[in-house]
């Protein structure tokens, strides 16, 4: 097998980029709600289920949303590839 031309690497590279983009979105969500809503004076805070709104959206909703997004990402965008090299060659020949 030629070095560096493994068809499985293209899939892996794409998935690594998706993971990085998701982490970036995660950071933006976390930061925007925390400091966007939480930066106001405490007197103006609104509350959801007892929590200040900034905390509720940034940490609680953010946790749920990004767990779901990870599920969506691996379910619909990640591909199953064989890890053993012999299997991979068979599969790439049958393509």
For other proteins, the binding residues (CB under 8 A) are 3-4, 6, 8-9, 11-13, 15-16, 18-20, 22-23, 26-27, 30-31, 34-35, 38-39, 42, 45, 47, 49-52, 54-55, 58-60, 62-63, 66-67, 70-71, 73-75, 78-85, 88
Token pair 């925390």 is found at 34
Nearer to other proteins, 43 or 95 (CB): 43
Instruction: Give whole-number Cα distances, 27 to 19, 32, 36, 62, 79, in Å.
Output: 12, 8, 13, 10, 25
Nearer to other proteins, 23 or 90 (CB): 23
The least CB distance from residue 93 to other proteins, in Å, is 17
In which region does residue 40 sit, left (phi positive, over 0), alpha (psi from -120 to 50) or beta (all else)? Answer: beta
Type and span of the H or E element at 51: strand 51-52
């Amino acid at each position: 097998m030629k070095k560096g031309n493994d068809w499985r690497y293209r899939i892996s590279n794409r998935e690594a980029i998706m993971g990085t983009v998701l982490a970036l979105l995660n950071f933006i969500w976390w930061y925007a709600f925390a400091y966007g809503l939480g930066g106001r004076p405490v007197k103006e805070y609104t509350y959801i289920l007892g929590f200040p709104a900034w905390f509720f959206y940034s940490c609680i909703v953010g946790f749920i949303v990004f767990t779901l997004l990870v599920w969506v990402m691996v379910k619909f965008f990640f591909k199953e590839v064989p890890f053993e090299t012999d299997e991979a060659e068979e599969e790439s020949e049958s393509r």
